[in-house]
């Protein structure tokens, strides 16, 4: 039997991503909820919203800034976002010859939903969901994780086989996340004590263009307003109103960067007053929406957002 050391595994993983993400941007794959990306030039610190996902950087490094902390992820550490998280992100170094390469894995996929049910049924007491959930977690790669990642990515070279073996290989990869250092937080956010709140955060993320009253969101979470405020801040580090504003403004900034007009971007995230939008945008980012539109800022490939 051929054995491979960690360096061989990671080299093969990097080469697979490089081959299947030949150009800059995000590339879809046949694996459920798995995308690849390539970045060939530095990306300055820009706002974004990370949906529940795992980001595995296989070449280079990225920074995510959230809650006064800097999270760095690279070929030794992956980033796990357990809930919709407004933040700022940066790619400090990237060139055409030495790009940043990575894998994005959706934590709200059908495969993950099925795995969560099976995991909790098989291990009801051996692994407790985190009692103090975190929106972002940086976890170390281990041999199980990198082996499962390689096995999943190898199927991209086998188009006839990927539909047959893909779900099983992806399930194996996601299992290593659930059974690894980020697993408690993922279980807590997606199926444990914080599941109701995470569902509300996802609802907010999907309905930014609608009026969102905090009292209605608390009711949706099955909590009193006071309990909702406490749990919300403990989970996201922000009050519901500050989180909603950050979510809306980060989304608007991405929309404007992607070419949406300022008025359209404001309406898409729920602002009915242009003056209020401009005032709050400048307070949040230190510049006006128009100056932002003219700045030619890049977009973080990992951040969600519609053009």
CATH topology (fold) of 6-191: Jelly Rolls (2.60.120)
**Alpha-carbon Rg for the chain in angstroms:** 20
Q: What is the dihedral of CA 21, 25, 31, 33, to 10 degrees?
A: 160
pLDDT of residue 88: 92
The mean pLDDT values, 10 residues at a time, for the chain of 307 residues are 69 96 95 95 91 95 91 95 91 96 94 87 60 77 95 94 94 94 85 75 91 92 90 87 94 90 93 93 93 84 65
The candidate with the shortest Cα–Cα distance to 171, out of 227, 119, 101, is 119
The candidate with the shortest Cα–Cα distance to 56, out of 27, 41, 38, 77, is 77
Pick the CATH number of 195-294 from 3.40.50.1980, 1.10.1740.10, 3.20.20.70, 1.10.10.60: 1.10.10.60
Task: State the DSSP string of 193-216.
Answer: TTHHHHHHHHHHHHTTTS---HHH
Q: What residue ranges of the chain are covered by domains with CATH 2.60.120.10?
A: 6-191
Give this prediction's pTM. Answer: 0.86
pLDDT of residue 125: 58
* Half-sphere exposure of residue 295: CA atoms within 13 angstroms, side-chain side: 17
The candidate with the shortest Cα–Cα distance to 83, out of 235, 210, 223, 239, is 235
The candidate with the shortest Cα–Cα distance to 212, out of 148, 282, 270, 139, is 270
pLDDT of residue 281: 94
Please, are residues 274 and 266 in contact by the beta-carbon 8 Å criterion? Answer: yes
pLDDT of residue 192: 63
């Amino acid at each position: 039997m051929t054995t491979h050391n960690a360096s061989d595994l990671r080299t093969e993983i990097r080469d697979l991503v490089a081959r299947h993400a030949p150009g800059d941007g995000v590339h879809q794959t046949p694996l459920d909820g798995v995308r690849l990306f390539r970045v060939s030039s530095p990306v300055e610190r820009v706002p974004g919203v990370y949906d529940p996902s795992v980001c595995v950087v296989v070449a280079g490094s990225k920074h995510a800034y959230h809650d006064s902390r800097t999270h760095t992820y690279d070929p030794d550490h992956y980033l796990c976002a357990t809930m919709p998280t407004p933040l700022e992100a940066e790619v400090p170094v990237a060139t055409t010859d030495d790009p940043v390469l990575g894998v994005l894995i959706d934590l709200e996929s059908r495969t993950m939903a099925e795995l969560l049910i099976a995991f909790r049924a098989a291990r009801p007491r051996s692994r407790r969901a985190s009692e103090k959930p975190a929106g972002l977690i940086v976890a170390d790669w281990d041999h199980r994780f990198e082996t499962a990642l390689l096995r999943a990515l190898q199927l991209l070279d086998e188009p006839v086989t990927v539909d047959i073996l893909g779900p099983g290989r992806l399930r194996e990869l996601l299992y290593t996340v659930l059974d690894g250092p980020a697993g408690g937080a993922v279980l807590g956010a997606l199926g444990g004590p914080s599941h109701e709140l995470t569902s509300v955060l996802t609802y907010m993320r999907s309905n930014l263009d609608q009026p969102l009253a905090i009292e209605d969101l608390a009711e949706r979470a099955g909590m009193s307003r006071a309990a909702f405020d406490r749990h919300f801040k403990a989970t996201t580090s922000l009050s519901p109103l500050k989180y909603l504003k950050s979510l809306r403004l980060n989304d608007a900034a991405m929309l404007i960067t992607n070419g949406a007009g300022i008025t359209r971007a404001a309406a898409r995230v729920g602002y009915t007053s242009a003056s209020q939008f401009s005032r709050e945008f400048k307070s949040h980012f230190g510049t006006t929406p128009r100056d932002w539109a003219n700045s030619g800022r890049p977009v973080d490939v990992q951040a969600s957002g519609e053009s």
